[in-house]
Structure 1
Amino acid sequence: MRIASVEDDVSQAEQIVQLLDEAGFTCASFATGSAFLRALRDQAFDLLIMDWQLPDVSGYEVVSWVRQHSGRLPPILFLTSRMEEADIVAGLAIGADDYLAKPIRPGEFIARVRALLRRAYPDAAHDDQLIRQGDYVIDVRRRVIMLSGLNIDLSPREFDLALFLFRNIGRLLSRDVIEQAVWGRAMEAGSRTLDTHISRLRIKLALRPDHGVRLMSVYSHGYRFEEVAAVPVATGRAANA
């Protein structure tokens, strides 16, 4: 799991990175809100740890931007010394998922992080678990995707792309983020490689609302893979009514 920490105090930023590293997470640290927002152009994070008071923009503004552009994910933990009830209410109302007071208490901090990740990604906490979404089951160890119980024949790259999408359901993903995650590099301008693979997945996996998902193209940015309520198929007398 990749975590972003936005904290301008050097010693506290180092402590956060150290605690997360010791707990087995990868943490990227940013001293300003603007530096973090720039990083979002070509990186994806599974959790955001946000200070309220920053030297450029407020944590409140950053959280508001993230929620407007990325939806319900990633989960966000406010880590701040501002503990007035009005501040807590405002932070949660704008889209934060949890609120933790400074100074950091290591045990509680890691426990909160793990709890947020479990709630946000219940099927992807460990690679040896099956991922279930709609009519799909992804067996990560066997590198198999099943649709309604049937194995779908995918190339290795198609499987990697599908797995990345299912692990990031609900998130707005830029083309660069997807390409870096699946191919290890950003493609040249004008490349249709990603679009070709997306088109194949739409067909092979039947990525439609009647299977509980929807893959949307977002103009000039990338894609959003969403969970939707499956549409029941009318049968029998009801279908002919």
Structure 2
Amino acid sequence: MRIGVLEDDMVQQGLYKLWFATAGYSCACYGTAEAFERALGQENFDLLIIDWMLPDSTGEVVLQRVRERRGWEVAVIFITSRESETDIVNALRSGADDYLVKPPKYQELLARIESLSRRIKPPALLQIGPYEINQTSHQIRLRGEEVELTNREFGLACYMFQNPGKLLSRAHLLEKLWGLNANVDTRTIDTHVSRIRRKLQIMPTNGWEIIPVYGFGYRIEKVNAAAH
């Protein structure tokens, strides 16, 4: 598991690095919101730990940006000295998955991380209608027949199938698949969507439809194949 930590206290950073290394987790720590958000565009994290009080922002603002850019695929734990019921409720309603008051306890933190990882980790094999998605081998089968896809086509198809009904902007998909600072034209997304629609035969007769939203992006929706 790869953990990203936003914490400006260097002593606490050192503790996290020691604890997570002992538990067999990979960890990267950042002292400012700016550095943390920049890293999110360049690295993939399975779980994020965010402090509330930061030198250049607040944890609540950072959390909102995380949810806007990464959706709900990454788990977030708030660890902060703020302990009022209002603060806890606000953090959870803003999108935090868990909340701990400083100083965190080693065994409790690891137990909460393990609990979250069991809940959010997608299964290696997903069956979505006639599509079988193998996230280990990066293969998609349509009614048992493997469909040849590039890595980015697989990533796009997998991400869209895991976010049915959500309106996904071209900018969001670019950040997700190419990285925050990628110098790629947004029309590249249109090309890749067209390819996966054709290769995977994403159409109502197979139970799914990709709906373009003019000037914004795409939404994939489950439809009643029997009606078509």
The TM-score by the shorter chain falls in which range? 0.7 to 0.9
Name whichever of 114-123 and 133-142 sits farther off: 133-142
Q: Is the 8 A contact 1:135 1:212 kept in 2?
A: no
2:117 partner amino acid: L
CA distance in 2, matches of 1:79, 1:212: 40
- Code of the residue aligned with 1:175 in structure 2: it is L
Shift of 1:110: 1.7
Distance in structure 2 (CA, Å) of the matches to 1:88 and 1:191: 38
Rounded to whole Å, the distance in 1 between the matches of 2:104 and 2:207 is 43
The alpha-carbon distance between structure 1 residues 154 and 142, as it changes in their structure 2 partners (threshold 3 A), is same
Match for residue 145 of structure 1 among 129, 140, 143: 140
Q: 1:141 to 1:122 in 2, by over 3 A?
A: closer
The Cα shift of 1:212 comes to: 5.2
Separation (CA, whole Å) in 1 of partners of 2:10 and 2:211: 40
Q: Which runs of 5+ in 1 are unaligned?
A: 124-128, 181-185
Please give the per-residue CA displacement for 1:83-104, whole angstroms capped at 9, x wherever unaligned: 2111111111111111122222
Structure 1 partner of 2:98:
98
1:32 corresponds to: 32
Measured at CA, do residues 63 and 120 of structure 1 come closer, stay the same or move farther in structure 2, by a change above 3 Å? same
Identity in percent: 34
Aligned residues: 220
Shift of 1:139: 2.9
Matched AA of 2:86: A
Residue 88 (1) aligns with residue 82 (2): no
Match of 2:73 in 1: 73
> Over aligned residues, Cα RMSD in angstroms?
3.6
**Residue 32 of structure 1, CA deviation:** 1.1
Aligned residue number for residue 179 of structure 1: 178
Seen in structure 2, the aligned counterparts of structure 1 residues 191 and 51 have a Cα distance that, compared at 3 Å, is: closer
Superposed displacement of residue 24, structure 1: 3.4
- Contact 2:75–2:96 (CA<8 Å) still a contact in 1? yes
Change (3 A) 1:142 1:38: closer
- In the TM superposition, residue 77 of structure 1 has moved relative to its aligned partner by 0.8
1:150 Cα offset (Å): 2.2
Deviation at 1:204, TM superposition (A): 1.2
Unaligned runs of 5+ in 2: none
**1:183 aligns to what?**
none
Deviations 1:142-167 (A, max 9, x none): 553222x3223315xx1564157526
Q: CA deviation at 1:214?
A: 4.9
How big is the shift at 1:58? 0.9
Displacement of 1:198 in angstroms is 4.7
- Shift of residue 55, structure 1, vs aligned partner: 1.2
Aligned-partner Cα distance in 2 for 1:65–1:152: 37
* Within-5 A mapping of 1:96-175: 96-123=96-123, 129-141=124-136, 143-147=138-142, 149-155=143-149, 158-159=150-151, 161-163=153-155, 166=158, 169-170=162-163, 173-175=172-174
Provide TM-score, normalisation by structure 1.
0.71
CA contact (8 A) 1:152 1:205 kept: no
2:93 and 2:82 mapped to 1: Cα distance?
Answer: 15
| Partner amino acid, structure 2, of 1:97 | D
**Aligned-residue offset at 1:113:** 1.5
Whole-angstrom distance in 2 between the partners of 1:55 and 1:98: 23
Q: 1:206 and 2:189 equivalent? A: no
